[in-house]
Structure 1
Amino acid sequence: MTATPSAPEFTPEQAEVVERTAAAIREHAPACEAAQDVTPEAAHALSASGYTRLTLPADAGGLGATLTQFALAQLDLGRADASLALVLAMHGHVTGSAFQGRSLPPALLDAVAAAGGRGELLNALASEPELGSPSRGGLPRTVAVPDGTGFESAQWLVTGRKTWSTGARALRWALVSAATPDGRVGRYWIDLHGEGVCIEPTWRDALSLRGSGSHDVVFTRAPAALQAPPSGAHPAGSAWFWTAVAATYLGVGEAALDALSTYARERVPTALGAPIATLPRVQENVGRIAADLLAARTLLLHATAAWDLAPDAAAIPLIGAAKAVATNAAVDATDRAVRTAGGGALTDALPLGKLLRDARAGLTHPPGEDPAFTAYGAAVLGDLDRA
């Protein structure tokens, strides 16, 4: 086993932005949960928080967060609220991976940087009703047709439907995956306030993330003046996306521990005459939750620090395993917290019901548990000196 690399502290400006963003999320999350959407007020607060600059490199006008700093930030936001934290997780991972992997053409990188500098939220839209998650392969039904010749000639027109579009109404821009006429997949930069774009409010009564506004976005010959031609995937895409979701949901688990701990100290049943925090069973459960969450956090930050030291494909299996451990820890923490709190967890007096529902969404994001551990196991068996 190698020594765990130490996690870098935030810069003062990063710390200020994360604190301001977490406060905005805590303020607006209840209204978003009730509306089952990102309210206009919440969207404005997220944009004004400065968080859109967090993962932009300094030379592009951003705050230059490393992957580990991004993980620490999303842990804080996930503790505040999963739905709004995930909206910013999507913006942060798209921006961070695009610049670190240089996976977009220069003009498109400039557009991403300009959007972040203006506080305009963006997301990559790839999932579809028939396709499901694009991580499992397949050609999207969404198509892009050029109105000129070739990728460099003129704008393209995009037609199709994208599902699970996190924060749809709060977004200004989308990188939309679409099939080209020759059967490959390109990415298209589309103004979601522009022509040919319709948001259908399909995200209603969802089990989890009710305030995320993850509606369908429908494109009808929507113009895309910038595009990324088909190319191979860069490992930065997986590193930043998997970290974004792992940290966000692990933050949900930590919020459950916070809520349970407060409840255990304050709850004094008449028959006991003392806080339930004095009961060995409650202490045991809190100890199990805390230990599991700390183990998951330590593994995640170890994995991201390893990437920061050597950002290449060799670091990816450990990040995938850390994502699986983190999301499982969040699910287990919220479940155990509900069991420990008892009947109080069934009411709105405690946030544990919402946290239980939100944590489960982490299991749906790739990589799944089986492929994550299989890939990490293969990496360990391929090089027995690797941790």
Structure 2
Amino acid sequence: MHYLDASFIKTKIQADRLKLADELKILFSKRAAKHDEEATFPFDNFDNLKEYGFTHLTVPKKYGGKELSLYEFLQIQERIAQGDAATALSLGWHLGIIMNLRETNKWPQGLFEKVCKEIITENKLINSAATEPRSGSPARGGKPETTAELINNRWVLNGKKTYASLAPALDYFIITATIIESGSVAEFLVSKGAEGLKIEETWDTLGMRATRSDDLILTNVTVEKEALIGTREKAGKPKPQGWLLHIPACYVGVAMAARNEAIQFSKDYQPNSANHPICEFPEVQQKIALMEIELMTTRQFMYSTAERWDQANKEERERMGTDLAAVKYVATNSSVKVVDLAMRIVGAHSLSKSSPMQRYYRDVRAGLHNPPADEMTLKVLAKRALGS
């Protein structure tokens, strides 16, 4: 067991599950460069995740899943991300959606049971498509410009969604839309292959290239009346959602991968100007120590918050929004620092396209742009401190 994990693995079940995750991590790391360079979705990685049962992990036990806690979910995310961050982030959306539905019971029970059983028996995948070009992230409270209209007792959806991670592999899309008649914001469950649903391949980014977070175009997509799965009278900021900690866990995994790469490099690399590897230089040891401090403090914060969430009741969870946002802020910014320190240890070698370090450098910065945004977190922290 890696010493950094010693205080976070609490049960034999967790340890055994993480051994399987380590097998996948090694496998995914061998494919990561190719998927990154070509910006291809890692279907092969998801075949392995399905084979190992990892797409079932947050499904309730009564439907055949493992019903992972948030704490255990983050362990998996962190470990898979060490092999391939794009795969981990994509998996996290699927697992997190199911965890959130399990905890909130906001779907009709029969529909949730149906989807869960399809995940177990048919390895189906699901994600939400909520972000839009003009409204931005739903975390900012914007109202969807995608519309829904009830025509001949069926819903007709029109609009455009952006950042639809996992899009090429999804079986179900949760689409947010504004109902034309009432102005209410609603969610609709749309199956892949629905007529008028099109994936527009626009994803060509600096980092997280293999998530294939392409645009989703809806042109008169017609679904049954029962596809409406929830409404609210007006758009607003969502309640605290613990499952979104899968985002910082992913980027902490990237930082750990960079840390491991840098430490191994420092042990192996010996310039001809020295009679020992660079790990013996005080300035290198200082950078290693700084990486350790960042990871130790960040992970303690992240896992202790996840544990609080798992143990909290509904009312307590509703008071945890600021803490959840703070975890994301600390973890993503700390992970950027760790990768930067790791690259300083490796030096110019880290800029080579053959080095995974340059991919870690690009991928970890994507975390700064996942919700919630840093300025929003700082604003709510300041207001809380000021008592407003």
Q: TM (normalized to structure 1)?
A: 0.89
The equivalent of 2:4 in structure 1 is: none
Aligned partner (choices 338, 347, 350) of residue 342 of structure 1: 347
The alpha-carbon deviation at position 157 of structure 1 amounts to 2.4
> Residues 166 and 212 of structure 1 are in contact (CA less than 8 Å); yes or no, is this contact kept in structure 2?
yes
Aligned partner (choices 261, 264, 274) of residue 262 of structure 1: 264
Deviation string for 1:104-125 (max 9, x for gaps)?
Answer: 2223322431332121111111
Provide the rounded CA distance (Å) in 1 between the counterparts of 2:332 and 2:115: 29
Aligned partner (choices 141, 144, 166) of residue 140 of structure 1: 144
The equivalent of 1:313 in structure 2 is: 318
1:61 aligns with 2:64: yes
**Counterpart code for 1:353:** Q
Provide the rounded CA distance (Å) in 2 between the counterparts of 1:233 and 1:129: 18
Provide the rounded CA distance (Å) in 2 between the counterparts of 1:38 and 1:274: 42
The alpha-carbon deviation at position 198 of structure 1 amounts to 1.1
Deviation string for 1:120-143 (max 9, x for gaps)?
Answer: 111111011111112112221211
Deviation string for 1:258-301 (max 9, x for gaps)?
Answer: 11001111111001121110110010001101110111011000
Deviation string for 1:227-257 (max 9, x for gaps)?
Answer: 2221387635x2111x110100111111110
**Counterpart code for 1:125:** A
> Residues 24 and 83 of structure 2 are in contact (CA less than 8 Å); yes or no, is this contact kept in structure 1?
no
Which piece of structure 1 moves more, 20-29 or 75-84?
Answer: 20-29
> SS where residue 62 of structure 1 aligns?
coil
Provide the rounded CA distance (Å) in 2 between the counterparts of 1:233 and 1:374: 14
Aligned partner (choices 247, 250, 255) of residue 248 of structure 1: 250
The equivalent of 2:208 in structure 1 is: 209
The alpha-carbon deviation at position 316 of structure 1 amounts to 2.6
Provide the rounded CA distance (Å) in 1 between the counterparts of 2:27 and 2:97: 22
**Counterpart code for 2:289:** G
The equivalent of 1:191 in structure 2 is: 191
The equivalent of 1:152 in structure 2 is: none
The equivalent of 1:219 in structure 2 is: 218
| CA pair 304-228 structure 1, distance change in 2 beyond 3 A | same
The equivalent of 2:376 in structure 1 is: 371
CA-atom RMSD in angstroms? 2.3
| CA pair 173-323 structure 1, distance change in 2 beyond 3 A | same
Provide the rounded CA distance (Å) in 2 between the counterparts of 1:322 and 1:347: 32
**Counterpart code for 2:306:** T
| CA pair 140-180 structure 1, distance change in 2 beyond 3 A | same
| CA pair 20-368 structure 1, distance change in 2 beyond 3 A | same
| CA pair 354-6 structure 1, distance change in 2 beyond 3 A | closer
1:230 aligns with 2:207: no
Unaligned stretches of 5+ residues in structure 1? 150-154
The alpha-carbon deviation at position 39 of structure 1 amounts to 4.2
| CA pair 219-114 structure 1, distance change in 2 beyond 3 A | farther
Provide the rounded CA distance (Å) in 2 between the counterparts of 1:293 and 1:72: 14
The alpha-carbon deviation at position 197 of structure 1 amounts to 1.5
Deviation string for 1:126-166 (max 9, x for gaps)?
Answer: 011111112112221211222345xxxxx422221111111
> SS where residue 222 of structure 1 aligns?
strand
> SS where residue 319 of structure 2 aligns?
helix
Provide the rounded CA distance (Å) in 2 between the counterparts of 1:328 and 1:156: 42
Identical residues among aligned pairs (%): 26
> Residues 33 and 356 of structure 2 are in contact (CA less than 8 Å); yes or no, is this contact kept in structure 1?
no
| CA pair 323-10 structure 1, distance change in 2 beyond 3 A | farther
The equivalent of 1:160 in structure 2 is: 159
1:97 aligns with 2:100: yes
The equivalent of 1:177 in structure 2 is: 176
Unaligned stretches of 5+ residues in structure 2? 1-6
Provide the rounded CA distance (Å) in 2 between the counterparts of 1:278 and 1:366: 40
Which piece of structure 1 moves more, 16-25 or 364-373?
Answer: 16-25
**Counterpart code for 1:200:** E
Provide the rounded CA distance (Å) in 1 between the counterparts of 2:57 and 2:345: 37
> SS where residue 108 of structure 1 aligns?
helix
**Counterpart code for 1:278:** E
> Residues 6 and 305 of structure 1 are in contact (CA less than 8 Å); yes or no, is this contact kept in structure 2?
no
> SS where residue 183 of structure 1 aligns?
coil
Provide the rounded CA distance (Å) in 2 between the counterparts of 1:244 and 1:352: 22
Provide the rounded CA distance (Å) in 1 between the counterparts of 2:329 and 2:9: 20
Which piece of structure 1 moves more, 262-271 or 165-174?
Answer: 165-174
Q: TM (normalized to structure 2)?
A: 0.88
> Residues 136 and 142 of structure 2 are in contact (CA less than 8 Å); yes or no, is this contact kept in structure 1?
no
> SS where residue 217 of structure 1 aligns?
strand
> SS where residue 228 of structure 2 aligns?
strand
| CA pair 350-6 structure 1, distance change in 2 beyond 3 A | closer
Provide the rounded CA distance (Å) in 2 between the counterparts of 1:346 and 1:15: 31
